[in-house]
Structure 1
Amino acid sequence: MKKSKFYLFTAIALSLALVLSACGAGSDKKSSSNGDSGSKNDQVLNMIETAEIPTGDPTLATDAASFNVFGQTLEGLYTLNDKDVPVPALAEGKPTISEDGKVYTFKIRKDAKWSNGDPVTAKDFVFSWRRAVDPKTGAQYAYMFAGVVKNATEIMGGKAKPDQLGVEAVDDNTLKVTLENAVPYLDSLLAFATFAPLNEKFVTEKGDKFGTNSDNMLSNGPFELKDWDGTGLTWKYVKNENYYDKANVKLKEVHVQVAKTPNTAINLYNTGKTDITAALSAEYAKQYQNNKDALKMVESSSWYLKFNQVRNGKKTPLANENIRKGLAMAFDKKAYTDTILSNGSFPSNGLVPKGVAKSPTDGKDFRDASGDLLTTDKAKAKEYWEKGLKELGVKSLTLELLSDDTENAKKTSEFFQDQLQRSLPGLTLKLTNVPFKIRIQKQDKQDYEIQMAGWGADYLDSMTYLDLFVTNGGNNKTGYSNKKYDQLINDAKVKYGNDLEKRWETLLQAEKILVQEDAAIAPIYQRGHLKLIKPYVKGFEEHLFGPDYTLKNVTIEK
């Protein structure tokens, strides 16, 4: 997630995370249908989502709900297996790669078809990618191409035409991709829905109606989306008979219902009207954590306090490093995850969460290699705080904490208000709880001082988090700027694209500067969740990035 991804995973994940936040530790994934599903042979699954589908256009999507749809209905060159490893999907085997790592040549499966019977060709990828980077399209996720596919940055900036993008259909079944630099995580990117193909004829014919309801969408994945009117709270996935691997898709239908309150979801589950709940709220997570149907999953979501250093063109007190360090070390992270979330989330002392990146030499997790960069230490916090006040020439400060207006978000705000005011003499923390959309607007305008924020992986690499905070980055929105940090991020992208060991060390240095030395943010926790899933549902797979889950391998075994 990055130049606009804060709205993508976090558009629902940010507000939803605090509304229906929950977490846990990975596992199998099982549940099934009720009502209509009846017998084993019916192979019908019933499940709950927590929000409507905002769009059926993968180029324009910026939210978790939409990407969950694409995870069932679309496939790109790669898809994710049950261990979150990208594996060839529409790509026929591994690509041919040039010696410098900049040119990839993919063969496209000849048996791949769209749900209307049209073949999926290399031209579908060219059309989709050019559409994504074209400024006229307004795709927020276009940034994922920038610095990756050749000329993407220039096209997005209006300095080149979309047909100059480094993607070429050599023939119907051969796709050539030219990169700006070697990209170690390219396969992860290519599993993301923004990189999926689109049927040019279909998209062009539909025009502005494309993606507005299920009649104006095409699938090339395991399922087709049906009975979605563009705004409704229910829809279906129906097995795609033109899918190249349909023999291994056992579900005939999936019935989805949106339940916006935790008690509604629990009631539907306990009365047998759904087989899988969405993530449970803290209250229900506590209640059901030892239930035999509980499914726990650790997510790739890293949560932290963002400190805005520039508001309305003027420096805020948070431009002072000692003030930031005082705030960052003054609250009890474990008390927060144990008492407010109670869902398996656990404290984090860095930006990059566990599970998204491993050392190219010894396989050590990035979080373990980087270590604890900002821990709770209330005595040190007080020292930093008082030093900062002295530097500012004041004896007290009133700061604002911006968050959502949900019940859990308000509890979170009150927790931090209590912790910070108790630990830091002279601090008054004013709470501003607003609807999610308004919070995002205030963030975009940098009209805040402190904000509860989170980020989930767009791909499996630490860069998906660390390039958030480069100077003037689209998702920085804090006024933070450090030339050494910027250079390290650039070196990791350009200089060390083919030197994985040096790239690894460079990114470790960057996180240390961002979090430990500059305290640009204050890490809080890594999120997880707890769902309920019926024991007769087998093969339900959840993911650290991309869609939250996939249903291709689900079977009902009653």
Structure 2
Amino acid sequence: MKNRLSIKLFVLIAVVGMLLTGCNFDKSKETDSKASESETTAAGQVLNMVEASEIPTMDSAHAHDNVSFTVLSNVNEGLYRLGEDKPELAIASDDQVSEDGLVHTFTLRDAKWSNGEPVTADDFVYAWQRVFNETGHYASMFETANILHASEILKGEKSVDELGVKALDEKTLEVTLTAPTALLGQYLTFPTFLPQNQEFVESQGNKYALEASELLYNGPFVLSEWKHDESWKYEKNPEYWDAVSVKLEEINVFVVKEDATQLNLYETNKVDIINLSSASVDQYKDNGDFIALADSEIFFLRFNHNHEALGNENIRRAIDMSWDKKAHVDTILNNGSSALYGLVPKGFSVSPDGEDFRELNGDLNADTIEKAQEFFAKGLEEVGQDSVEITLTVSAVEGNDKTAEYLKNQLETNLPELSVDIKLVPVEQRYELETAKEYDMVISAWGPDYVDPMTYIGMWVTDGSANRMDYSNPDYDAIVNKINSENDPSKRYQMLLDAEKILFEDAAIAPLYQRGLAVLQRTNIKGLVRHPSGPDFSFKWANVEGE
């Protein structure tokens, strides 16, 4: 799971005055004065970007959000990294696989940490075990990747030192699986699998990863500055093993929450890439800098299955069917997003025969308002209530309030017995409430961790860390387990399709939309790689044309 908390907005011209004063563009009075101080354009390969929120954590054992993933994946590197079009070997120079496919032996490059120490096999063993010791959000990724004993460790049946990872010597790492997986390279690009230097981590104690100086780096860039809630800065890492491929010298990131402020910065040539809000799309869609991009992030309603009414399948199904999803994306979002009637989005995955997953399974739980009302009436009878009052929890991010208001209006209009109260909370609080299951219904987002439908399907197993709503179906759990051990691509794909159908037969969730992006981007930014899974971007191959 990758919980995308915000949209990445990349920009080009270096704003020197802002860097020196640690600006926060969100403070409107400061913005104008600081912008006036920023007429000097930095020379050379410098990329500036704006980000809608602070970095929640730089500890790869705890990272669970899009901002952290993107930063971590550009300042650190694991055995594999996301390449320009597929996973590629990174710190590992070689991946030898045993005949039965269960043992991978990785040979490490002569890579260094930013303090000059070598990256060793022990750094991977320590970091991977630490994810379990720290009860990290993504410990389940080791189970998904079929790492030996990961399941038993998660259940408390084995100790963490029995995890299937072993340092044979300083430059040789052995990883043992419970079953072969062709997706191992994809899984290993995920930030949870990054190495950590044990001596350094332990020397920092509770301060580890709280500041730029309390981290070590082995990737294309280092984090040279981190002003919390204001800005952070990447600089090219001269110790990186493939530094010759890195063109950018510096990347500056400013926390800018307001859409209007971002647009003003673009129009005044202070920034060079922004994501447009729905209100601005029509004005700029004919602009030569305008780009419409498809995205694999989905938004959906997560139901608390312990709720007296929302625990009822017919009530959940009625909510899913009782509002106009197409009108929402066309009029409220207006940014290229598309209505979603399933779990796996369109254009994300194709079968071994080349057919799109979403096309194969079609629209699920799509019907008329009248049919939704029938389901709702049946559900009310089953729970013994005449009406239902629920609270809809929503992250307080610009634009979410409009979606929430639209949804409230549609549900209350089409299901008169339903009353919806909107509760806006900070992003992190929304996640905490989800984890504690202290909500009725919540608008959630999910971006893929790797390019395979299982990144969505695997969310809903009983007691899974991503479930966060107490949904449980033994048949669903069983088919997911079979998928994880099936080596025939066609059989496996059919099981993925069947699993999604089970989820919607239960009306476990209510999909809202597949995100689209409306972007303004100047044409001299080249090589900035956008990923369909994991971190949003890689800067390794980016450059500013003409510099």
Task: Give TM-score, length-normalised by structure 1.
Answer: 0.88
Identity %: 43
Distance 1:156 1:386, change over 3 A: closer
2:97 aligns with: 97
Offset at 1:207? Answer: 2.6
Distance of 1:404 and 1:66 partners within structure 2: 18
1:532 aligns with: 520
1:26 aligns with: none
Offset at 1:376? Answer: 4.5
After superposition, what is the alpha-carbon deviation per residue over 1:412-441, rounded to whole angstroms, capped at 9, x for unaligned?
Answer: 122112212222243333333333344333
After superposition, what is the alpha-carbon deviation per residue over 1:66-110, rounded to whole angstroms, capped at 9, x for unaligned?
Answer: 211112111111111223x111112214x2222332211122223
**Per the alignment, in what secondary structure is the counterpart of residue 170 of structure 1?**
strand
Q: Which structure's relative contact order is higher, taking Cα pairs within 8 Å and 6+ residues apart?
A: 1
Distance of 2:40 and 2:239 partners within structure 1: 26
Alignment of 1:425-444 (within 5 A): 425-444=416-435
Checking the alignment, whether the CA contact within 8 Å between 2:13 and 2:41 is kept in structure 1 is no
Checking the alignment, whether the CA contact within 8 Å between 2:14 and 2:252 is kept in structure 1 is no
Checking the alignment, whether the CA contact within 8 Å between 1:31 and 1:538 is kept in structure 2 is no
1:288 aligns with: 284
Distance of 2:139 and 2:385 partners within structure 1: 44
Distance of 2:289 and 2:322 partners within structure 1: 38
Specify which of 310, 318, 322 is matched with residue 326 of structure 1: 318
Offset at 1:352? Answer: 1.2
- Verify: 1:503 aligned to 2:503, yes or no: no
Checking the alignment, whether the CA contact within 8 Å between 1:45 and 1:275 is kept in structure 2 is no
**Per the alignment, in what secondary structure is the counterpart of residue 469 of structure 2?**
coil
Distance of 1:263 and 1:501 partners within structure 2: 48
2:342 aligns with: 350
Distance of 1:510 and 1:306 partners within structure 2: 18
Specify which of 254, 257, 261 is matched with residue 260 of structure 1: 257
Specify which of 56, 77, 80 is matched with residue 78 of structure 1: 80
Offset at 1:309? Answer: 2.3
- Large movers: runs of 4+ above 6 Å: 37-41
Distance of 2:323 and 2:11 partners within structure 1: 38
> Unaligned regions of 5+ residues in structure 2, if any?
17-38
Letter in 2 for 1:124: D
Distance 1:34 1:533, change over 3 A: farther
Offset at 1:513? Answer: 1.0
- Verify: 1:369 aligned to 2:360, yes or no: yes
Distance of 1:400 and 1:122 partners within structure 2: 49
**Per the alignment, in what secondary structure is the counterpart of residue 257 of structure 2?**
coil
Offset at 1:35? Answer: 4.6
**Per the alignment, in what secondary structure is the counterpart of residue 273 of structure 2?**
coil
1:46 aligns with: 48
- Verify: 1:33 aligned to 2:13, yes or no: yes
> Unaligned regions of 5+ residues in structure 1, if any?
23-29
Distance of 2:526 and 2:141 partners within structure 1: 34
2:165 aligns with: 167
Offset at 1:456? Answer: 0.9
- Verify: 1:241 aligned to 2:243, yes or no: no
Aligned residues: 523
Distance 1:73 1:125, change over 3 A: same
Distance 1:389 1:274, change over 3 A: same
2:89 aligns with: 88
After superposition, what is the alpha-carbon deviation per residue over 1:433-460, rounded to whole angstroms, capped at 9, x for unaligned?
Answer: 3333443333233233222122111112
1:130 aligns with: 129
What is the root-mean-square deviation of aligned Cα atoms in Å? Answer: 2.4
Distance of 1:322 and 1:170 partners within structure 2: 55
Letter in 2 for 1:485: Y
2:533 aligns with: 545
Offset at 1:512? Answer: 0.4
1:25 aligns with: none
With 432-441 and 367-376 compared, the bigger mean Cα shift is at 432-441
**Per the alignment, in what secondary structure is the counterpart of residue 335 of structure 1?**
helix
1:223 aligns with: 221
Letter in 1 for 2:171: N
**Per the alignment, in what secondary structure is the counterpart of residue 351 of structure 1?**
coil
Distance 1:198 1:376, change over 3 A: same
Specify which of 500, 507, 511 is matched with residue 519 of structure 1: 507
Alignment of 1:101-116 (within 5 A): 101-110=101-110, 112-116=111-115
Distance of 2:166 and 2:207 partners within structure 1: 27
Distance of 1:247 and 1:426 partners within structure 2: 64
Distance of 2:447 and 2:393 partners within structure 1: 20
Offset at 1:393? Answer: 4.2
Letter in 1 for 2:59: D
Offset at 1:344? Answer: 0.9
**Per the alignment, in what secondary structure is the counterpart of residue 451 of structure 2?**
coil
Task: Give TM-score, length-normalised by structure 2.
Answer: 0.89
Distance 1:125 1:31, change over 3 A: same
1:341 aligns with: 333
Distance of 1:286 and 1:258 partners within structure 2: 26
1:307 aligns with: 303
